[in-house]
């Protein structure tokens, strides 16, 4: 790897830390924040509408990137994120919170696409697992540092200080990207990318279909856990936010310690299929386990959620390693479609969760999630390894 590429990746990884801390600050309190203004059932509707609009925004994004460039579009997306957070602070009315949530969700998903393009432009296929593993390790260090401190800030100062901290971190994130990639340029054919062409190409590649399905399953798992696990622990298990912060900090440890070595092993010795399948099995087992736990004991919840994230961390790094070995930074249509699995998952999850919560007790949501995850086992075993 030459010195220019190394400097670009270092700049991107530094920006990653600030981005991760800013995202994690809000992720696990977002549903609680919205629950101040809307009923639990309507919180699901807010997320559904936000991710429906995100899905359409993502699928129009490649042409905007082709027209303006990757740096200008990521600057626009970060400014929109900051604007939405300012709305949460200064316009605390339901209608503005609703609009602000939509803007925030769209912005953070668009930033992810820009990030993939920056990272893929400076990553060789032979080092995809290693670089992606390093990226996720730093990203998850940011997430690891956040839940405990966020819970302390939230209990003492409320939401507004958290929003202010996120704005500050986002400004630093924006400055680092602007400095590191001021001369970044890839020429794309303008108005070339469209939804129909992309999915026609996807329809011809069975392995890409399979990795998209695995990506969708993983995002559904995250959608349920991020939105509903904090509510379940606080409202139904009676745990304090300080306790939840400790649990979530322990829960995120596998992402920090497993993803870099797993990515390295996938590059050097194994393919991705075996570890991806093992991850899905672990996720399913420990999602189902939540259904049977009725004790508000901190260490029990920390252990169960930790083990579930062992599976998620393996599945996540193998998913990305496999996909990004199949594409490069010029394939923004396919990268775009790959990242659209996130809003698609957040469309599916609220509908399924709302229906489940309407018909059954809360803990059945996790039982159904675990059973649903088993649908990915056959699919992952059918993927042809890159090794």
Q: Is residue 188 part of a domain?
A: no
Q: Rounded distance, CA 17 to CA 329, Å? A: 22
Q: What is the DSSP string of 316-329?
A: HHHHHHHHHHH--T
Domain CATH number, residue 373: 1.20.1250.20
In terms of Cα–Cα distance, which of 308, 338, 341, 312 is closest to 325?
Answer: 338
Question: How far from chain centre, in Å, is Cα 80?
Answer: 18
Q: Determine the pLDDT at residue 80.
A: 97
* Within-domain flag for 283: yes
How do the residues of the chain divide into helix, strand and coil, expressed in percent and rounded to 5? Answer: 85, 0, 15
User: Given phi > 0 = left and psi -120 to 50 = alpha, else beta, which region is 158?
Assistant: left
In the prediction, which pLDDT does 97 show? 96
Q: Looking at residue 191, what is its pLDDT?
A: 55
Q: How far is CA 137 from CA 52, 58, 228, 261, in A?
A: 30, 26, 25, 10
Low-confidence ranges of the chain (pLDDT < 70): 1-4, 124-126, 187-195, 329, 386-387
Of 248, 105, 97, nearest in space to 160 by CA: 97
Residue 187 lies in a domain: no
**Structural domain boundaries, residue 60:** 3-181+193-382
> Alpha-carbon distance 312 to 314, whole Å?
5
Please give the pLDDT value at position 117: 86
Q: Quick one: tokens of 132? A: 């992606």
Separation of alpha carbons 310 and 225, rounded Å = 14
CB 74 within 8 A of CB 111: yes
Helix (H) or strand (E) holding 334: helix 332-339
Residue 36 domain flag: yes
Tell me how far apart the alpha carbons of residues 62 and 60 are, in angstroms, rounded to a whole number. Answer: 6
Q: How far apart are CA 169 and CA 167, in angstroms?
A: 6
| pLDDT on residue 288 | 97
pLDDT at 256: 85
**Rounded CA separation 267/261 (Å):** 10
**Tally of CB atoms within 10 A around 281:** 17
Residue 352 domain flag = yes
Q: Is 344 exposed, middle or buried (0-12, 13-18, 19+ CB in 10 A)?
A: buried
Whether 156 is covered by a domain: the verdict is yes
Contact 176, 18 (CB under 8 A): yes
272-286 pLDDT tens trace: 888 999 999 999 999
Answer yes or no: is 387 within a domain. no
Neighbours of 105 (CB within 10 A): 24
Q: How far apart are CA 24 and CA 143, in angstroms?
A: 5
Please count the structural domains in the chain.
1
Collapsed DSSP state (helix, strand, coil) of residue 338: helix
Best CA proximity match to 167, nearest among 115, 97, 91, 89: 89
Tell how far CA 204 is from the center of its chain: 27
The angle at the Cα of 34, spanning 28 to 36, to the nearest 5 degrees, equals: 115
Q: Is residue 213 part of a domain?
A: yes
The dihedral formed by the CA atoms of 142, 144, 147 and 148, expressed in degrees to the nearest 10? -120
Overall pTM surpassing 0.85 (yes/no) = no
User: What pLDDT score does 101 carry?
Assistant: 95
Q: In the structure encoding, which two tokens stand for residue 80, read together? A: 């929109």
306-338 pLDDT per residue, tens: 999 999 999 999 998 888 888 876 777 788 888
The CA distance from 67 to 46, in Å, is 31
């Amino acid at each position: 790897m030459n010195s220019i590429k190394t400097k670009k990746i270092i700049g991107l990884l530094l920006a990653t830390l600030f981005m991760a801390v800013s995202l994690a600050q809000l992720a696990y309190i977002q549903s609680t924040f919205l629950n101040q203004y809307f009923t639990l059932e309507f919180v699901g509707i807010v997320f559904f509408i936000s991710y429906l609009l995100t899905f359409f925004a993502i699928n129009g994004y490649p042409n905007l990137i082709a027209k303006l460039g990757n740096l200008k579009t990521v600057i626009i997306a970060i400014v929109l994120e900051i604007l939405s957070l300012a709305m949460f602070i200064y316009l605390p009315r339901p209608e503005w919170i609703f609009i602000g949530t939509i803007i925030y969700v769209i912005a953070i998903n668009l930033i992810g696409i820009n990030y993939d393009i920056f990272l893929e432009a400076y990553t060789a296929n032979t080092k995809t697992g290693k670089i992606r593993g390093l990226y996720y390790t730093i990203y998850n260090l940011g997430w690891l540092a956040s839940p405990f401190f966020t819970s302390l800030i939230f209990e003492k100062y409320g939401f507004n200080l958290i929003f202010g901290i996120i704005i500050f971190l986002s400004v630093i994130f924006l400055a680092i990207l602007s400095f590191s990639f001021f001369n970044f340029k890839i020429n794309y054919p303008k108005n070339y990318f469209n939804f129909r062409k992309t999915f026609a190409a996807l329809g011809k590649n069975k392995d890409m279909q399979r990795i998209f399905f695995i990506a969708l399953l993983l995002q559904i798992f995250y959608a349920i856990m991020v939105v509903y696990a904090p509510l379940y622990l606080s409202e139904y298990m009676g745990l304090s936010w300080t306790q939840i912060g400790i649990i979530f900090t322990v829960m995120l440890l596998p992402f920090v310690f497993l993803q870099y070595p797993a990515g390295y092993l996938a590059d050097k010795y194994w393919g991705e299929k075996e570890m991806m399948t093992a991850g899905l099995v672990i996720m399913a087992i420990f999602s189902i386990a939540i259904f049977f736990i009725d004790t508000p004991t901190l260490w029990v919840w920390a252990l169960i959620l930790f083990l579930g994230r062992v599976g998620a961390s393996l599945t996540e790094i193998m998913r990305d390693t496999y996909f990004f070995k199949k594409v490069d930074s010029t394939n923004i249509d396919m990268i775009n479609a790959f990242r659209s699995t996130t809003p698609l998952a957040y469309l599916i999850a609220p509908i399924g969760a709302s229906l489940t919560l309407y018909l059954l007790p809360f803990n059945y949501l996790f039982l159904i999630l675990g059973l649903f995850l088993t649908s990915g086992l056959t699919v992952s075993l059918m993927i042809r390894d890159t090794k």
